[in-house]
Structure 1
Amino acid sequence: MDGIELTERAARRINEIMSGEPAGSMLRISVNGGGCSGFSYAFDIDRTRNEDDLVVERDGAGILVDAVSLQYMGGSRIDFVDDLIGQSFKIENPLATASCGCGTSFSL
């Protein structure tokens, strides 16, 4: 299974978000059942790192992904976009067979 790539833009935005959080905080990305396409991504700030978490770091920014979520996200690229519909993290997931218009849910 491939790892997860964090783009420079995503790392920069994570660093901006974490500058207002307690030391040791990281962005946790997880996959939950539900959403309009079957699965959805959740983004939380977490100070707890579990033994089975994958830690992805770039330019001082870090994300946590639990082992179960990693099964659904392997090989993904996490980017940050700022376009006409707003700002958001965008996950390009090669395992997803379909995704919804909002970009936060997908199916396998």
Structure 2
Amino acid sequence: MAITLTPAAHARVAQFVARQHGALGLRFGVKRTGCSGWGYVTDLVTQAGSDDTVFEQDGVRVYVDATSLPLVDGTAIDFARQGLGEVFVFDNPNAKAECGCGESFTTDAEKA
């Protein structure tokens, strides 16, 4: 069970946390959205939830709630330049299909 950050994502999250007073780390999870069912959610955590699992990598913490964990377990988070912007990119082994725009994903369990 793990969520990992590439060096680029690690540096970016560390930068965000350092800038936000009271931030503990990165919140990573999912919400129902889009054509395929699940969309990724990222935000800064200022208070841990009682059902959070916390992954720490070289001093940077990633918080995942219990509902999201089975859907994102094993995900590698990268940070990349795309066009004129920069975005987090998710390599999620649980995602079996994505919508055409890439904003949402589904898992095998949902296809059954």
State the TM-score bracket (shorter-chain normalisation): 0.7 to 0.9
TM-score with structure 1 setting the length: 0.85
Contact in 2 for aligned 1:11/1:62 (Cα 8 Å):
no
Secondary structure of the 1:28 match is strand
Aligned residues of 2:23 and 2:44 also touching (Cα < 8 A): no
Corresponding residue for 1:30?
29
Point out where structure 1 has 5 or more consecutive residues left out of the alignment: none
Alignment partners' CA distance in 2, 1:12 and 1:60? 11
Name the Cα RMSD after superposition: 1.8
Residue in 1 that maps onto 2:59? 60
CA distance in 2, matches of 1:88, 1:103: 13
Aligned length: 107
Instruction: Please tell me whether Structure 1 or Structure 2 has the larger radius of gyration of its CA atoms.
Output: 2
Stretches of structure 2 that go unaligned for 5 or more consecutive residues are: 108-112
TM-score scaled by structure 2?
A: 0.82
Q: Which residue of 2 aligns with 1:84?
A: 83
Show structure 1 runs of 4+ deviating over 4 A.
none
Q: Secondary structure at the match of 1:89?
A: strand
